[in-house]
Amino acid sequence: MLIDSHCHLDFADFDEDRQQVIENCAQLGIGKLVIPGTQASTWSGILQLSQEYQAIKPALGLHPYFLEHFKPADLALLIQLLSQFSDNIVAVGEIGLDHVIDIAPELQMTVLIQQLQIANDFNLPVILHHRRSHNDLIKTLKQQRFKWGGIVHAFSGSLQEANTYIELGFKLGVGGVITYPRAHKTREVVRLLPLDALVLETDSPDMPPMGKQGLRNSPQNLILILNELSHLRQESPEQIMAQCRYNVLNTLRNMH
């Protein structure tokens, strides 16, 4: 069985055919789909989907991209839902720092630290978003003494940065970017890293693989990412699938 460790199946892009996508995934052997939250208004919908579909596993968090809608009450709601659905939620996420978007860095950092503290309190791993922010993210994880690890979504840093995250207990998300020959650095890093540090993800509906540019990405494309990683590493798809599945099951909570 394959696990898509990061997809946004709650987005409106899937409103017309969500059930069909989930059924297609099951037929392809993609049996679990992790949906990270992005803003407080999405959390109830993700939890509802996880009640409707056994394949869907919810994470809840405040993504830096959506912090223009942030209210302090969002953090109180996060604590309430993590407590209420403690046997269902797999992580706090998608949280992090994005140094490209036009959201105040101070606000991003404050909300990140508060969410790391909440995750620490609930003994939960986190799903991390990064853009041009590895140094600040790593520094913050160390300063907060965050000890539950998690997944660095869509990792695209250096081998040294990868190894630092691994030392901090994190797995690295491998997605559609590795299917593009021009992504030399990321392709080389995922080739060199130990397989027990990697998890597979699509980030659907975004980040479509090579050959599907301009189209809605789907968890079904996880097969393309698996095959490309197999080609890069010269390891069988079966070996990669088994280890990456094990990695997710042992990093996130409640993945039964």
Domain boundaries, the chain: 2-249
The per-residue b/e assignment along 109-120, b for 16 or more CB within 10 angstroms, e otherwise, is: bebbebbbebbb
CB atoms within 10 A of CB 139: 11
Q: Report pLDDT for 166.
A: 99
State pLDDT tens for residues 25-50.
999 999 999 999 999 999 999 999 99
Per the structure block, which two tokens stand in for 29? 């052997």
Q: Report pLDDT for 249.
A: 98
List the 150-152 sheet strands across, edge first: 2-4, 30-36, 56-60, 91-98, 126-131, 150-152, 170-174, 198-200
* Residues above pLDDT 70, as percent of the chain: 100
Q: Report pLDDT for 256.
A: 86
State pLDDT tens for residues 144-203.
999 999 999 999 999 999 999 999 999 999 999 999 999 999 999 999 999 999 999 999
- What would the mean pLDDT of 61-83 be, rounded to a whole number? 98
Q: Report pLDDT for 184.
A: 98
Known binding residues = 6, 8, 94, 129, 153, 203
- What's the chain's average pLDDT? 98
CATH assignment, 2-249: 3.20.20.140
Known binding residues for a divalent metal cation = 6, 8, 94, 129, 153, 203
